[in-house]
Amino acid sequence: MKAVILAGGYGTRISEESHLRPKPMIEIGGKPILWHIMKIYASHGITDFVICCGYKAEIIKEYFQSFQSEPWKIELIDTGLDTMTGGRIKRIQNLIDDTFCLTYGDGVSNVNINDLISFNKSKKTIATLTAIHPPERFGVLNISEDYVTEFHEKHRGESSWINGGFFVFEPQVFDYLLDGDSTILERNPLETLAKENNLSAFKHNGFWHPMDTLRDKNHLEKLWINNEADWKVW
């Protein structure tokens, strides 16, 4: 099974670092957060990666040109500078012919990927996302009996679940990516799947943390230094 990682955004909220390198290449414990994400997947037996590059793609490509420390298959695809999340996925459609994993290139978790894949298979939906309890600044999900019934990009104030990334998709998801490079996965595609009861929610109560800001980066770095990095499942 392939794991697709979205690694093309500008990372404007962490511009202190992203003006030099793409956000997935910002380091935690001396390694890019992208490496940490790949190690999470590899610890669950997934070592076939498609990395959707964009902003400062050459830095990601240069890193992997000399990368020999892991026996992974890595495909680096330039999906455009200003392409939205759904548009980046649409651009790699020709590389996908079966169920695949997908996540963002800026967040780590100790979610059990194998359990996530099994859950997706049992629900027989086109898509499964990992639902986590959030800091309040994130958007929210309404969940009924393991199905996402509503998807709201922005938080509305209530205590709820949010989209934590770490998706599993069936190839039919490409039929929902209809607006070319401007397709935003988290809007019409996921909203439509939710309305159709085709979006399942794998509830994860363990560790999850994004690296949206410099504060987030420093927090993750501190956890790593103190041997409290719960996402280190390898």
The DSSP-derived string for 166-205 is -EEE-GGGGGG--SGGG--TTTHHHHHHHHTT-EEEEEE-
Residue 47: other Cβ atoms inside 10 A: 17
What mean pLDDT comes out for the span 21-43?
Answer: 97
Please determine, for residue 187, whether its predicted confidence score (pLDDT) is greater than 80.
yes
DSSP 202-231: EEE-S-EEE--SHHHHHHHHHHHHTT--TT
Give, in order, the Cα–Cα distances in Å from 45 to each of 3, 72, 150, 221: 11, 10, 32, 26
pLDDT at 156: 47
- Asked whether residue 102 carries a pLDDT value surpassing 90, the answer given is yes
Percent of the chain's residues with pLDDT above 70 = 94
Average pLDDT in the 209-213 region? 95
**pLDDT grade for 159, boundaries at 50, 70 and 90:** low
Determine the pLDDT at residue 157: 46
Question: pTM of this prediction?
Answer: 0.90
Burial 3-21 (b: 16+ CB within 10 A, else e): bbbbbbbbbebbeebbeeb
pLDDT tens-digit series, residues 142-155:
888 899 888 776 55
CA 162 to CA 129: how far, in whole Å?
10
d(CA 132, CA 154): 15
Rank 68-72, 148-152, 153-157, 199-203 by mean pLDDT and report only the highest.
Answer: 199-203
Query: What are the structural domains, with CATH classification, of the chain?
Result: 2-224 (3.90.550.10)
- Contact criterion met (CB below 8 Å) for 152 and 141: yes
**pLDDT of the residue at 141:** 78
- Mean pLDDT, residues 53-64: 97
| Separation of CA 56 from chain center | 19
Average the pLDDT over each of 9-13, 48-52, 88-92, 96-100 and give the range with the smallest value.
9-13
Q: Which residues pair with 102 in a beta bridge?
A: 4, 167
The per-residue pLDDT for 34 is 98
